[in-house]
Amino acid sequence: MSNRWNSGIHDRQLKEQICEIGRRIYERGFAAANDGNISLRVGENAVLCTPTMICKGFMSPEDICAVDMDGNQIAGKRKRTSEILLHLTIMKHRPDVKAVVHCHPPHATAFSIAGEPIPQCVLPEVEIFMGEVPIAPYATPGTPEFAETVLPFLKATNTIILKNHGTVSFGKDVQDAYWKTEILDAYCRMLLLARQLGRIDYFTETETRELLELKQRLGFDDPRFHLEDCDLCANNLLREGYQEKAPEPTAFPAPPSYPCRLRSNGQAASGDAASEPDIEQLVQAITDQVMDALTQSA
φ/ψ of residue 41, rounded to 5: -75, 130
CA-closest candidate to residue 208, choices 280, 277, 119: 119
CA-closest candidate to residue 67, choices 92, 90, 50, 53: 50
Query: How long is the chain?
Result: 298
**With the C-alpha atoms ordered 196, 202, 207, 213, is the resulting torsion angle positive or negative?**
positive
Label residues 101-116 b or e (16+ Cβ within 10 Å = b): bbbbbebbbbbbeeeb
φ/ψ of residue 75, rounded to 5: -160, 155
Beta-sheet strands, E only, within the chain: 37-43, 46-49, 65-67, 73-75, 99-103, 135-136, 159-162, 166-171, 230-231, 261-262
Q: How far apart are CA 189 and CA 196, in angstroms?
A: 11
Q: Is the Cβ–Cβ distance between 200 and 194 less than 8 Å?
A: yes
- Catalytically active residues are 83
Q: How far apart are CA 52 and CA 36, in angstroms?
A: 9
Give 113's contacts (C-beta < 8 A, 6+ positions apart). Answer: 164
Instruction: Beginning with the edge strand found earlier in the chain, give each strand of the sheet holding 99-103 in spatial order.
Output: 73-75, 65-67, 46-49, 37-43, 99-103, 166-171, 159-162, 135-136
